[in-house]
Each structure stands twice: as structure tokens, then as C-alpha cells.
Amino acid sequence: MNRRQFLMTSGLFAAGGLSGLGMASRAQASPVTLTIQSARFALEANPTEGMVSLSPDAPPPVLRLRQGQPFVADVTNTLDDYTAMHWHGLRLPNAMDGVPYLTQIPMGQGDTYRYEFTPPDAGTYWYHPHCNTMAQMARGLTGVLIVDEAEDPGFDLDLPVNLRDWRLGEGSQFIDLFTARGAARGGTHGTVMTANWAQEPVYDAPAGGLVRLRLVATDTTRVYRLHLPGAEGQVIALDGHPLLVPVAFPTAEAPLILGPGQRADLAIRMPASEGQTLTLFNDQPGGLRTLLTLRATGPDSRHALADLRPLAPNPLPLPDLANAEVLEFVFGWSPGDGAVNNGFCGSLGYTFWSINRVSWPGDAADGGPLATLERGRTYILRLRNESPNDHPIHLHGLAFLPLRSDRREIASNWVDTAMLLERETMDVALVADNPGDWAFHCHVIEHQKTGLTGFLRIP
Ligand code: C2O
Ligand code: CU
Ligand code: CU
């Protein structure tokens, strides 16, 4: 007997049981109200107009959820534009995934959509719209979402870091959000780099203390190459999931490659003396760029990395590799038939890219899924990048394990986005355990919106 049947037979249903049910679910999780709206904010000396956020004058907030606890968000769209909200990396029911036409009707101005799910996994995730993504993400709407572990791992400071660029020109106002030249190649880079909507911010952290740095690459284009010279630390999670096999802490010679959509959690021990600093750099053409600085404050708190409680693994289904079916996906240039392409909703007006030689045809599921996966079965996705550009390939609703690359050593750790370097082929494995139509695309938004998009179906 389920709860509803119980309520009906016990007579509670007729005697106001319905509102009782409503109260019960509200008591579990009161809805968070998120209002997508235009904003202004000073990234430089002058405030930038025409930004998109969840308040009129501040960055999108860090949302904190709890593993295994229901989350309810009423998202309202006040923009004169369509939208939908996507919860990147979360394994949730398909109807809550926020992909226009594939999982929901996009919200028009004044519409509200209720997103309701219980995150099975702890870790570092993020949220962003999945409709008119170029316009809305490049203008600001990319936020960090944290699912807290049931047991506190014991850091002295937990610092989410939203890494992204902006395309600003004179007077700090937006210039063209992309160029056709960029979209057809590696993407169009921003002109202003920020961490948490600030240029080179400095954060205080207890001297000798332990910092959890949650690095989230939410830029529409940039592939970061990150390191912190002189830092003592460990990589503890990728794309939210605690590591299964160790990953070397980044160095100048081997920086951490973090492409659009990817996350890395680092555990760092602060220097012991007050005033000492650690700097997070991006290694990019032209040299090292400072992203942020951590400054040691107060007396040495004398914590050691070994004091941390290890993160509990997330409950992910291990692939059965002996019985896996291989599905191949080729990411490449588009035959360029001139068709206008809109990568879910809102067109950039060009088609440059394809998956298996077919460009995403338009809004809905016009072309059908790239593949239909049998529920519960293990698959190896062979991701083949035929192009001279990098593509962070992202799958919604499931996590996967990279197995091997033909270009480099890779570690098998759960992720939702695979950074395919130029001409690289990577095999990744997953268990098709979450039913639905799951978007599968490059997270360089200019690529996503000019053809490099599709979806996988798990009936
Ligand atoms: Cu960050 Cu289709 O997602
Ligand atoms: Cu996603
Ligand atoms: Cu791409």
C-alpha cells in the first residue's frame, strides 16, 4: 500500500487529506524562489548593464543542497526572452533537467516552473539556463550549486570559485558575445577574466588551515590550465564525485585542465605564517594570469591534510565492462549545408559542427536520438574528436568513467564532462540507469549552438 492509498483508506484523504499531503511535502523542503532577471554590476570601474542574474545587482548565489534531501525551486522568468533552468551534473529525473523541448516547454516571460528533485550525490555542481544559452550565460547566469555531504569533511574554509570571462568593451558594456570566426574554431574568448565576478580577488584563510577550493569552469569558451605554485594539496573530487583513483596535484609542468562545465575540488593546506599567500594561476598564451589569491591569517591552526575525513563515494553504478556495447560518436566539422541551427532554443545563425556528421537540426527531437540505450545495460561511448579544436563533451543525467585515451594517460574517475583535446579519442563507460532523453553536447556554447548537440535516449 502506498501513502496515497493509505490516506484514502484511512479516511484522511477525504477529510482534508489533500492539504495534509501538501503540508507534508512543504515541511520536507520549502521551495526556493529564483527569479531570472536583468542585472547591473561593476566588474570593472563602470557597472555593466544588461547582465542576467537572479537579483538586480549581485552574482547568481551559491545554492546549497543536502545529499538525499528533497530540493524544490520555483524558477520565474522575468526576461523578455525564453528560458529554462538546468542543474548541471545532477542525476535527477528527466522532467527536472531543464532542456527546452526535450524535457520541458521553455518558460516565456512571467512563467514559473517548479523544479523538484532529491540529489543522490554530494559534491560541486552548477546551474545555468539551457535556452538562449549564449545570450543568457555570457551575460551572467552561471551559478555554483553545492550538494553537502551527510558528514562534514572538516575543512576550515569552503570556497566555491566560479571561473568565467566577460566580453566587455568601452565603458565596460557588452560587445558581441561571439564571433563567427570563433564559433567555427576554438570559440570566442572574453576580454575580462573573473573569479566570483571579481578580478583577482584575495580571500583570507586561517594560516596552516585546510581550504576546500571548489573550482567551477562556467565560462562559455575558456579551457583553463590551472595551478597554485608552492601549494601543498590534493585533488579530492572531479565533477562533484570523490576520486576513485588519485589524480596528481597540478603543477606548472602539468596544470589542471578544466574545460567549460568541468569542476575540480582541491584540498589545500594554507601556509603556516600570517600574511603568506597562494595564488591560483591560469597558464594561457601570453603567460600566467592571476585568478585569485589566498592569504593566510591568524596564528597557525596546525591542521594537516591527513586530518580530513575522506569523502564518501557517491552511489554510482559500476559498469559491467565485460558485457558492454560500444557506441561511437564522431565530433567534427559540419558539412555546412547553410541550415540555421538553434542548439535547443535561440539561433546564432550558423552551422559549423556535427556529431556523427549530422548537425543538430533544430529545436525539438526532430532528428531523434543519436542512440537508444537499453536501461540497466553498460555502454562504452567512443568519443572521437576529428577536429583541431578542444571539445568538452557533456552528458546530462548520468555520470561516466573515462577508460582510456589515444593521446595521454587518464585516470578513471566519475565525471559528467569529458575534455576531448584536439584529435583525441576517448572511451568512457556508463550504466544506462536513468530513463529519459539526455542532452549530449559540447559545452563550448558556440559549438553547442552551431551543431555540436544531440541527445541519448534511455527508454
Ligand atoms: Cu551544463 Cu547541457 O549543460
Ligand atoms: Cu548538464
Ligand atoms: Cu566544442
pLDDT tens across 205-262, in order? 999 999 999 999 999 999 999 999 999 999 999 999 999 999 999 999 999 999 999 9
DSSP letters spanning 240-270? TEEPSS--PPP-SSSPEEE-TT-EEEEEEEP
Lateral strand order in the sheet of 378-385: 353-355, 325-333, 378-385, 425-431, 401-405
Check: CB of residue 106 under 8 Å from CB of residue 345.
yes
C-alpha distances (whole Å) from 57 to each of 37, 220, 406, 438 are 10, 21, 46, 34
108: Cβ contacts below 8 Å, ≥ 6 apart: 77, 82
- Nearest atom in ligand 1 to the alpha carbon of residue 448 is 2
Give residue 250's Cα distance to chain centre.
21
Whether the per-residue pLDDT at 63 is higher than 50: the answer is yes
Q: How far is the CA of 62 from the centre of ligand 2 (A)?
A: 17
What's the pLDDT score for residue 9?
A: 30
More confident: 349 or 205: 205
What is the number of the ligand 1 atom nearest to the C-alpha of 261?
Answer: 1
Q: So what's the pLDDT on residue 18?
A: 32
pLDDT confidence of residue 339: 64
Residues 6+ apart with CB under 8 A from 39: 51, 52, 53, 55, 56, 57, 58, 140
Q: Report how far residue 406's alpha carbon sits from residue 427's, in angstroms, rounded to the nearest whole number.
A: 9
Question: Residue 362: its pLDDT value, please?
Answer: 64
In the chain, the percentage of residues whose pLDDT exceeds 70 is 91
Tens of pLDDT, residue by residue over 25-62, are 444 679 999 999 999 999 999 999 999 999 999 999 99
Which residue's alpha carbon is nearest to atom 3 within ligand 1?
Answer: 88
Q: Please give the CATH topology (third level) of the domain spanning 31-148.
A: Immunoglobulin-like (2.60.40)
Q: What is the pLDDT of residue 95?
A: 98
Alpha carbon distance 163, 292 (integer Å): 10
pLDDT higher than 50, residue 15: no
Q: Does the pLDDT at position 435 exceed 90?
A: yes
Q: Is a pLDDT exceeding 60 seen at residue 400?
A: yes
Quick one: pLDDT at residue 14?
29
pLDDT tier at 350 (50, 70, 90 boundaries)? confident
Q: Which residue is it, cell 538546468?
A: 86
- Biggest CA–CA distance in the chain, Å, is 73
Closest CA relative to residue 346, chosen from 31, 132, 179, 106:
132
Q: Which residues does a 6 A CB cutoff place in the pocket of ligand 1?
A: 86, 88, 128, 130, 261, 394, 396, 439, 441, 443
Cα of 183 vs centre of ligand 3, distance in Å, is: 9
Residue 314 corresponds to which cell in the numbers above? 557517491
- Which CATH number fits the domain 157-307, given the four candidates 1.20.1070.10, 3.30.499.10, 3.90.1150.10, 2.60.40.420? 2.60.40.420
**Ligand closest to CA 420:** 3
Task: With residue 136 as reference, give the H or E element that holds it.
Answer: helix 133-138
Nearest residue to 217 (alpha-carbon basis) of 249, 193, 236, 233: 193
- Percent of the chain at pLDDT exceeding 90: 84
In degrees and rounded to multiples of 5, residue 23 shows phi and psi of -65, -40
Q: Give the per-residue pLDDT at 367.
A: 72
Mean pLDDT of the chain: 91
Asked if the domains 31-148 and 157-307 are classified in one and the same CATH topology, the answer is yes
335 pLDDT band, cuts 50/70/90, is low
Q: Determine the Cα–Cα distance for residues 216 and 126; give it in Å rounded to an integer.
A: 8
358-395 residue pLDDT tens? 888 765 556 789 999 999 999 999 999 999 999 999 99
Residues 451, 387: contact at Cβ < 8 Å? no
**pLDDT value at 7 more than 70:** no
Helix, strand, or coil here: 428? strand
Question: CATH number of 321-458: 3.30.460.80, 2.60.40.420, 1.10.10.10, 2.30.30.60?
Answer: 2.60.40.420
pLDDT at 364: 52
Instruction: State ipTM.
Output: 0.99
Averaged pLDDT for residues 154-169:
97
Distance (Å, rounded) from C-alpha 344 to C-alpha 365?
9
Mean pLDDT of 63-80: 97
What are the tens digits of pLDDT across the range 83-132? Answer: 999 999 999 999 999 999 999 999 999 999 999 999 999 999 999 999 99
Question: Is the pLDDT reported for residue 164 higher than 50?
Answer: yes
Grid coordinates given for 252: 606548472
Tell whether the model's pLDDT for residue 6 goes beyond 50.
no
Query: Of 70-79, 290-299, 317-326, 327-336, where does mean pLDDT reach its minimum?
Result: 327-336
Minimal-distance CA residue to ligand 1 atom 1: 88
For residue 447, the Cα-to-chain-centroid distance in whole angstroms is: 16
Ligand (nearest to CA of 388): 3
**AA identity, residue 454:** G
DSSP 275-302: T-EEEEEEEETTEEEEEEEEEEESS---
The model's confidence at residue 302, banded by pLDDT at 50, 70 and 90, is: confident
Ligand nearest, relative to CA of residue 354 = 3
Tell whether the model's pLDDT for residue 5 goes beyond 80: no
Domain map of the chain by residue range? 31-148, 157-307, 321-458
Cut 0.95: pTM above it? no
* Residue with cell string 518558460: 107
- Alpha helices (H) along 210-351: none
346 in Cβ contact with 457 (< 8 Å):
no
pLDDT score recorded for residue 8: 31
